[in-house]
């Protein structure tokens, strides 16, 4: 099957910033579309997202260069060419770029083509995308980790830590888990309002109140869980992503939005140890910064057998970095973001390496999103058991949940909700 036509345009993401959309047509007439997301708290070793840098357009954030690279370099190389598999086209694109970090053509250009090809091939073969990505055994429906309070770089408020998520795991299905999560989200709104806090939302759709402390965010959520009629820990647990690389300053962690206090890596580990003792936390992502590998080793020794420790900025969905972490016994789970590495194939290779070494995979959106639901299919495809894709009040996040409900309906009796066992060491 040849690729007949490929075309990119500049569209908008959920923050109103430009991003790349790719439209692809196969020889048999199958068409597909992919939209590329974009992060704000990015890891230093992520594949390169090319932005124009022209201050007259979107403050330099335009993506016309990346769009142009799809429409010229990539189109010239792949139109009227036959690719047998995802691996074949992705390796071809990587070679065409010729760099380690996709800085030549741009990860935002390459990923759009890679995702659009996957979607077209699935449609053309009359199989769902989750099956194309993961094979016939794809059937585990994930626990939706819903980001209900936003802080850090994702909100203009006083909270240092970036994400406070609820994990409604005591459900019989994904659809039920979403209902529980939404009920808690709505109860939390009432709790915040009753205490005089703002109920405006941040980049990922969670509330963004000016709370007095990071701890208060957890306390508010616990109240919300209770108010919705659920038992914290039994029915709904908590996941945290402080995105602590953003707090890293000269070897310490700075509480940059609240107290301005500086804390050592050892003290951060102590803080997480006390939070895990005090609160029903099942997952901690980026508890320490990407350049604090010594601290990460310490964190893994202290908490690695108690909760899921997910590496985001530190691993960048990169199998070479993940291998380093496996060798050093750092973390026990990896965050999966397609645009951190830039192709579908490399993402799947990283996932394979994680599973081979008993690491969990936690699939993730970016803070700048579109309505593309590729990650919903990826999550089921690889039986990841859990994903994070914001809260249930912004269209671009809700669409991922809706796609998962469609998949659950389509799988029928073979669908199995992951529940608490999705989280490493939770049982
Ligand atoms: C989703 C995240 O944020 P961003 O997309 O801004 O990196 C994250 O840090 O996990
Ligand atoms: Mg993160």
What's phi and psi for 408, nearest 5 deg?
-60, -40
pLDDT digits (tens, 9 = 90+) for 17-29: 999 999 999 999 9
Q: Is the pLDDT of residue 421 over 90?
A: yes
Nearest Cα residue to atom 1 of ligand 1: 366
pLDDT computed for residue 194 by the predictor = 98
Is the shortest distance between the CB of 347 and ligand 1 below 6 Å?
no
Ligand nearest to the CA of 388: 1
Q: What is the mean pLDDT of the chain?
A: 98
Percent of the chain with pLDDT over 90: 99
Structure tokens at 67: 């769009």
Mutate to test the pocket of ligand 1, among 146, 162, 333, 388 (most ligand atoms within 8 A of CB): 162
**309, 362 in Cβ contact below 8 A?**
no
CA-atom Rg of the chain in angstroms: 21
pLDDT computed for residue 1 by the predictor = 82
Distance from the alpha carbon of residue 16 to the mean position of ligand 1, in angstroms: 16
pLDDT digits (tens, 9 = 90+) for 130-169: 999 999 999 999 999 999 999 999 999 999 999 999 999 9
Q: How many CA atoms lie within 13 A of 374 on its CB side?
A: 31
Examine the residue annotation and report whether 88 is marked as an active-site residue of this protein: no
Which atom of ligand 1 lies at the shortest distance from residue 335's CA? 10
What's phi and psi for 206, nearest 5 deg?
-80, 160
Q: What is d(CA 344, CA 365) in angstroms, rounded to the nearest whole number? A: 14
ipTM over 0.95? The verdict is yes
What's phi and psi for 81, nearest 5 deg?
-115, 150
pLDDT computed for residue 211 by the predictor = 97
Confidence of residue 427 (pLDDT cuts 50, 70, 90): confident
Is the shortest distance between the CB of 389 and ligand 1 below 6 Å?
no
Examine the residue annotation and report whether 163 is marked as an active-site residue of this protein: no
Ligand nearest to the CA of 205: 1
Q: Is the pLDDT of residue 376 over 90?
A: yes
pLDDT computed for residue 15 by the predictor = 97
Cβ atoms < 10 Å from Cβ of 215: 15
Is the shortest distance between the CB of 148 and ligand 1 below 6 Å?
no
**pTM surpassing 0.95?**
yes
Percent of the chain with pLDDT over 70: 100
Cβ atoms < 10 Å from Cβ of 31: 15
pLDDT computed for residue 392 by the predictor = 85
Structure tokens at 265: 């890596």
pLDDT computed for residue 67 by the predictor = 99
Which whole number is the average pLDDT over 234-245? 98
Which atom of ligand 1 lies at the shortest distance from residue 153's CA? 6
271-293: string of b/e by CB count within 10 Å (b at 16+)? bbeebbeebbbbbbbbbbbbebe
Structure tokens at 293: 């590998």
Q: Is the pLDDT of residue 13 over 90?
A: yes
- How far, in Å, are 92, 350, 414 from residue 357 at the CA level? 28, 11, 27
pLDDT computed for residue 113 by the predictor = 99
pLDDT digits (tens, 9 = 90+) for 70-127: 999 999 999 999 999 999 999 999 999 999 999 999 999 999 999 999 999 999 999 9
Is the shortest distance between the CB of 388 and ligand 1 below 6 Å?
no
Strands 416-417 and 281-285, by their bridges, are unpaired
Distance from the alpha carbon of residue 51 to the mean position of ligand 2, in angstroms: 22
Tell me the residue length of the chain: 427
pLDDT digits (tens, 9 = 90+) for 255-296: 999 999 999 999 999 999 999 999 999 999 999 999 999 999
């Amino acid at each position: 099957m040849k690729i007949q036509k490929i075309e990119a345009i500049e569209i908008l993401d959920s923050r109103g910033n430009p991003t790349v959309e790719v439209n692809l047509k196969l020889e048999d007439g199958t068409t597909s579309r992919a939209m590329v997301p974009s992060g704000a708290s990015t890891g230093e070793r992520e594949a390169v997202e090319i932005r124009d840098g022209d201050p007259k357009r979107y403050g330099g954030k335009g993506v016309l260069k990346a769009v142009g690279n799809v429409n010229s370099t990539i189109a010239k190389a792949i139109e009227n060419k036959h690719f047998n598999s995802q691996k074949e086209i992705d390796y071809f694109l990587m070679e065409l770029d010729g760099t380690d970090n996709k800085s030549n053509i741009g990860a935002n250009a390459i990923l759009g083509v890679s995702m659009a090809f996957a979607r077209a091939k699935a449609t053309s073969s009359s199989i769902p995308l989750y099956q194309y990505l993961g094979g016939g055994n794809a059937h585990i429906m994930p626990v939706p980790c819903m980001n209900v309070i936003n802080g850090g770089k994702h909100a203009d408020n006083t909270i240092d830590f970036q994400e406070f998520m609820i994990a409604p795991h005591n459900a019989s299905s994904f659809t039920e888990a979403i209902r529980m999560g939404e009920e808690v989200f709505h109860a939390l709104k009432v709790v915040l309002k009753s205490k005089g806090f703002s109920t405006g939302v941040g980049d990922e759709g969670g509330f963004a109140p000016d709370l007095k402390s990071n701890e208060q965010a957890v306390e508010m959520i616990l109240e919300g869980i209770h108010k919705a009629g659920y038992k914290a820990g039994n029915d709904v647990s908590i996941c945290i992503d402080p995105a602590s690389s953003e707090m890293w300053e000269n070897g310490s962690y700075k509480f940059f939005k609240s107290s301005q206090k500086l804390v050592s890596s050892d003290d951060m580990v102590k803080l997480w140890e006390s939070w895990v003792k005090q609160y029903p936390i099942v997952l901690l992502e980026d508890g320490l910064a990407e350049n604090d590998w010594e601290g990460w080793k310490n964190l893994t020794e202290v908490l690695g057998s108690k909760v899921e420790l997910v590496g985001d900025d530190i691993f960048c969905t990169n199998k070479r970095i993940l291998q380093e972490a496996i060798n050093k016994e750092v973390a026990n789970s990896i965050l999966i973001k397609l645009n951190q590495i830039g192709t579908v194939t490399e993402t799947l290779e990283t996932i394979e390496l994680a599973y081979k070494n008993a690491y969990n995979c936690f699939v993730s959106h970016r803070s700048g999103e579109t309505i593309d639901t590729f990650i919903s299919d990826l999550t089921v495809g690889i039986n990841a058991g859990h994903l994070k894709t914001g809260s249930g009040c912004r269209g671009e996040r809700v669409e991922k949940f809706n796609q998962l409900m469609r998949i659950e309906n389509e799988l029928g009796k073979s669908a199995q909700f992951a529940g608490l066992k999705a989280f490493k060491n939770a049982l």
